């Protein structure tokens, strides 16, 4: 169920920046929503699973696995200007906080019979083109693909995206009647999943006070709700003169 975590402690905090509307929806529906990788911006996402494969016999096969997986992106970044601007470009972002252990435990509870074969919590590796090609060429064999290789193929990205420090929830759907959907949802208690909420640093304090009260009233959330101080001006100080000379 866990891939590429290595020395990462299970109690390590992880974060997800999204919109206020999405976070409210999570609390009101009590459903966590994963999306098909084809909806992600990077065209290299899921390219391994969707590529044709040449078997040792010379026969070329195309497997349907790329239509069967869903994912959700989190980050190990606690504070990142880039992440706020990428995932909340309109200044209405919300950062939710959980932990590796909490995400995995609740994911497992929602899929008790299929945890080891259909669920994964994994950290993304950022690889050069040659290393990514090596992963691609060792993903399949004449018997198809193993679960670790299937999920692992969705945990590689190019170094240009390394600033994301990404961790993903991944799910494999085997019900043919659901494979055309762009999303997959599972039941979760958001009050167990999320222990802190932080609002966009570009939000004024007055607006923050308003949305904080509204959010508490509409969702019943009693955890910590903060406003990011990423863009707060530094405290004015009298600076000294150094004796140092170049």
The pTM assigned to this predicted structure is 0.88
Q: How far apart are CA 136 and CA 83, in angstroms?
A: 28
Q: Are strands 2-3 and 119-123 parallel, antiparallel or unpaired?
A: parallel
Q: What share of the chain is helix, strand, coil (3-state, %, to 5)?
A: 35, 25, 40
Structure confidence at residue 243 (pLDDT)? 66
As given in the structure block, the two tokens for residue 245 are 């000379």
Q: What is the pLDDT of residues 98-145, one digit of tens each?
A: 999 999 999 999 999 887 789 999 999 999 989 988 888 888 777 777
Structure confidence at residue 188 (pLDDT)? 97
Q: What is the pLDDT of residues 181-221, one digit of tens each?
A: 889 999 999 999 999 999 999 999 999 999 999 999 999 99
- Binning pLDDT at 50, 70 and 90, where does residue 13 land? very high
| Residue 176: pLDDT over 80 | no
As given in the structure block, the two tokens for residue 32 are 């966590």
Mean pLDDT of the chain: 88
Q: Which element (helix H / strand E) includes 31?
A: strand 31-35
């Amino acid at each position: 169920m866990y891939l590429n975590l290595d020395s990462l402690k299970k109690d390590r905090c992880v974060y997800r920046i999204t919109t206020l509307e999405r976070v409210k929806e999570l609390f009101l529906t009590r459903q966590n929503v994963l999306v098909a990788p084809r909806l992600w911006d990077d065209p290299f996402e899921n390219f391994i699973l969707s590529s044709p494969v040449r078997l040792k016999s010379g026969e070329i096969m195309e497997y349907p696995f790329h239509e069967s997986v869903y994912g959700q992106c989190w980050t190990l970044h606690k504070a990142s200007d880039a992440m706020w601007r990428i995932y909340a470009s309109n200044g209405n972002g919300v950062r939710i906080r959980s932990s590796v252990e909490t995400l995995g435990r609740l994911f497992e509870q929602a899929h008790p019979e299929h945890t080891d074969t259909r669920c994964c919590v994994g950290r993304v590796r950022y690889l050069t083109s040659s290393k990514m090609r090596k992963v691609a060429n060792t993903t399949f064999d004449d018997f198809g693909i193993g679960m670790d290789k299937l999920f692992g193929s969705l945990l590689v990205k190019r170094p240009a995206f390394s600033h994301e420090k990404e961790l993903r929830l991944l799910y494999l759907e085997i019900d043919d009647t659901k494979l055309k959907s762009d999303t997959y949802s599972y039941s979760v208690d958001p009050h167990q999943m999320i222990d802190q909420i932080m609002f966009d640093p570009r939000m004024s304090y007055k607006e923050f006070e308003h949305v904080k009260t509204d959010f508490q009233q509409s969702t019943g959330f009693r955890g910590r709700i903060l406003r990011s101080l990423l863009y707060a001006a530094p405290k004015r100080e009298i600076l000294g003169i150094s004796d140092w000379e170049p």
